[in-house]
A and B are shown apart, each in its own frame.
Chain A
Amino acid sequence: MAEASAGSGMTSGGGLAGGWLAALWQAMLPVAVVVAWLVAFWYAACVPMNAKDALTQAERGGAVISPEGAAERRDMSSWALVMRNPGHLGGVWSLDRPRLPAPHQVAAELWSTSVGLALQGRMWSNRSLFTHAWVTLSATLLGFAIGTGLGVLLAVGIVHNRAMDMSVMPWAIASQTIPILAIAPMIIVVLNSVGVSGLLPKSLISAYLSFFPVVVSMVKGLRSPDRMQLDLLHTYSATGAEAFWKLRLPASMPFFFTSLKIGIAAALVGAIIGELPTGAVAGLGARLLAGSYYGQTVQIWSALFAAAILAALLVGLIGLIQRVVLGRMGMAR
């Protein structure tokens, strides 16, 4: 009997590990299929998007293209050109300045301007994406810290002061429907004219963007303890401060982390947009702008992917902290 139960324990343990792997496989397979499908679509889209430039290049190389001459082809539809010159389209995935760069071109540019430069010992050169990402990241983090700190303070004030709640809360909610990013150029230029430039103006935009999500969900979080729990603390004759530190603040943590994820993504967008109006020379936003001025599409796409990777890392990092903190607090789901 004992043997049997031990045996079944073993198998269920093995089944658990196997189940975990199978679950991971089941979760990853559809994602991989969708991503593969997107990449295939991307490669296919390169054909009509880049057909004209590729045919011009092939013609310069001596191939016979119908109809002849780039001027002849200018007003034709890309699909007609693709149908008439199926043999000369090899260039669509390797143009210098394509309208739509192929995935491997973007990946190569990403690699060569980040890890590639780092391997040459020029990790912080002007061309390196690490340099640009760091400029944007530092503004993002500073702004995020300011915005989150002020947001939490305001939320505490709102929860404990009824007049503040009634005055400020409707405005905080309404402000979420306003396209705040529109004031970014003004903040940058005005602060510049007062003599404040560099990191701080960008951070202020980031702070502003991450501020309101944190306020709104922290208020929700600090109010999440129910009547019964508050009454219990009352019977312990706990003071308001004790109720705050021992009940309200811990109870608000899940809300806090959710708003942090929204806030950091918004802060990154704010820092990128903040780099546009001043013609900044460094930062991911500056890379986007410079790329669009000089038609360097591969550079735009690589800056875009660098920003995406940065956003994913930041949100992922907060998710990790959330799991660890909530796990240690016994609130993991």
Chain B
Amino acid sequence: MGLVAGSIAFWLAAWWVNVRISASRGSGTLAARVAVPAIFGITLLLLWEGLVRGLDVPGVILPPPSAIALRFAASTDILWADFMQTFVKGALSGYAIGAVAAFAVALLADRYDLLRRGLLPVGSFMAALPIVGTAPILVMWFGFDWQSKAAVVVAMVFFPILVNTVEGLRSAEPMQRDLMFTYAATPAQTLLKLRLPAALPFIFNGLKISTTLALIGAIVAEFFGSPTVGMGFRISTEVGRLALDMVWAEIVVAALAGSAFYGAVALIERWLTFWHPSQRRG
């Protein structure tokens, strides 16, 4: 009982600190904006640890964070192999193929007006569908290895990137196009120097949405059949063995990979679209 009371008391104390920080005059500073969520996160972990230990929750229902961290540290080689199989081979390759394909189709759709007006509604419709359900079919076609996972990822990321790119290519203003026209720019020059840069914020919006979708597609496709390695495979088999600390360790990997992937794409965006109002500083 002491542990439970202690962790709840700690929670209240930390919350009080957060309230004080956010009400203080320094609440707008970078330090405060990092410290407050960090304190909140650490408190959550400690509360979880204290409650699980204090209430004697069995490890097959909810392992404490310390057990997950230990398991993570003890099985980095397995986690790394799973990461390579699912993220690098499945998700990344599928993401690249899907993005290039969507981009090519978007350029085509931009060239032919009929195609654009037809593809845009169909594409937005498809983007709202549960495409991850194609996983059993694609696993049947492309086998159990990473190729089928990449195929699921291609199907999942294609439509969001397509729709956003087509929208983006139309975002240059008539005045700007007229200016290019007065420069006697060829369509290719207009595309490269005006419309593609103007489309970049939209394209990156699609690319950022797709980072999470790619990882979800690669993991869920492994639930339908996989070689004996991979994050989805590990999650489904370790759940079956009730080794939940391993499952949580795998989820930590997925969370880290997902955030890093998103962060990397966001960094590239900042680097390429430094001129856009949303990226400017000060």
Binding site for B on A (CB under 8 A): 26-27, 29-35, 38, 99, 162-163, 165-171, 174, 176-179, 181-183, 185-186, 189-190, 193-194, 261, 265, 268-269, 272-273, 276-277, 284-285, 288-289, 291-292, 295, 297, 300-301, 303-304, 307-308, 311-312, 315
- In addition to A34-B122, A182-B232, A183-B251, 15 A-B residue pairs with Cβ atoms within 8 Å of each other are A27-B121, A34-B115, A34-B118, A35-B122, A166-B22, A167-B22, A171-B40, A182-B219, A185-B239, A186-B244, A190-B62, A276-B224, A291-B136, A297-B137, A315-B128
Let me know if B239 and A189 touch, CB within 8 A. Answer: yes
Contact flags (1/0) for B21-56 with A, using CB distance below 8 Å? 111000100001100110111000000000000000
Q: What residues of chain B lie closer than 8 Å to A297, measured between beta carbons?
A: 137, 140
Given A181-B219, A288-B136: A193 touches B61 (CB 8 Å cut-off): yes
User: Looking at the complex, which one of A176, A177, A277 makes contact with B223 (CB distance below 8 Å)?
Assistant: A277
For chain B, residues 38 to 97, give those with C-beta under 8 angstroms from any C-beta of chain A: 39-41, 60-62
Q: What residues of chain B lie closer than 8 Å to A35, measured between beta carbons?
A: 118, 122
Let me know if B231 and A182 touch, CB within 8 A. Answer: yes
Closest Cβ neighbor of B41 among chain A residues = A171
Shortest Cβ distance from B37 into chain A, in angstroms? 4
Q: What residues of chain B lie closer than 8 Å to A289, measured between beta carbons?
A: 136, 224
User: Looking at the complex, which one of B36, B60, B134, B136 makes contact with A167 (CB distance below 8 Å)?
Assistant: B36
Main secondary structure of the interface of A (DSSP, over half): helix
Shortest Cβ distance from B267 into chain A, in angstroms? 13
Q: What residues of chain B lie closer than 8 Å to A176, measured between beta carbons?
A: 212
9 contacts between A and B (CB under 8 A): A33-B114, A163-B15, A163-B36, A167-B18, A179-B254, A182-B231, A186-B235, A189-B242, A297-B137
Let me know if B137 and A301 touch, CB within 8 A. Answer: yes
Let me know if A166 and B36 touch, CB within 8 A. Answer: yes
Let me know if B140 and A292 touch, CB within 8 A. Answer: yes
Let me know if A177 and B117 touch, CB within 8 A. Answer: no
Complex Cα distance A284/B231, Å?
24
Q: What residues of chain B lie closer than 8 Å to A292, measured between beta carbons?
A: 136-137, 139-140, 224-225
Closest Cβ neighbor of B253 among chain A residues = A182
Let me know if B235 and A174 touch, CB within 8 A. Answer: no
Shortest Cβ distance from B214 into chain A, in angstroms? 9
Complex Cα distance A177/B261, Å?
8
Contact flags (1/0) for B90-120 with A, using CB distance below 8 Å? 0000000000000000000000001111110
User: Looking at the complex, which one of A166, A261, A304 makes contact with B27 (CB distance below 8 Å)?
Assistant: A166
User: Looking at the complex, which one of A165, A179, A291, A300 makes contact with B212 (CB distance below 8 Å)?
Assistant: A179
Shortest Cβ distance from A195 into chain B, in angstroms? 11
Shortest Cβ distance from B224 into chain A, in angstroms? 6
How many residues of chain B are within 8 Å of chain A by beta carbon?
Answer: 65
Q: What residues of chain A lie closer than 8 Å to B60, measured between beta carbons?
A: 190, 193
Q: What residues of chain B lie closer than 8 Å to A288, measured between beta carbons?
A: 133, 136
Complex Cα distance A185/B235, Å?
8
Given A185-B239, A297-B140: A163 touches B19 (CB 8 Å cut-off): yes
Q: What residues of chain A lie closer than 8 Å to B215, measured between beta carbons?
A: 179
Q: What residues of chain B lie closer than 8 Å to A295, measured between beta carbons?
A: 140
Q: What residues of chain B lie closer than 8 Å to A189, measured between beta carbons?
A: 239-240, 242
Q: What residues of chain B lie closer than 8 Å to A165, measured between beta carbons?
A: 22
Complex Cα distance A193/B116, Å?
51
Complex Cα distance A227/B33, Å?
23
Let me know if A182 and B22 touch, CB within 8 A. Answer: no
Shortest Cβ distance from A209 into chain B, in angstroms? 10
Q: What residues of chain B lie closer than 8 Å to A311, measured between beta carbons?
A: 128-130
- A-B interface, 4 closest residue pairs, ranked by CB to CB distance from nearest: A34-B118, A30-B118, A292-B136, A167-B40
Given A30-B114, A171-B41, A308-B130: A300 touches B137 (CB 8 Å cut-off): yes
Identify which of B15, B19, B137 gathers the most chain A CB atoms within 10 Å of its CB: B137
Let me know if B37 and A166 touch, CB within 8 A. Answer: yes
Let me know if B18 and A163 touch, CB within 8 A. Answer: yes
Q: What residues of chain A lie closer than 8 Å to B145, measured between beta carbons?
A: none
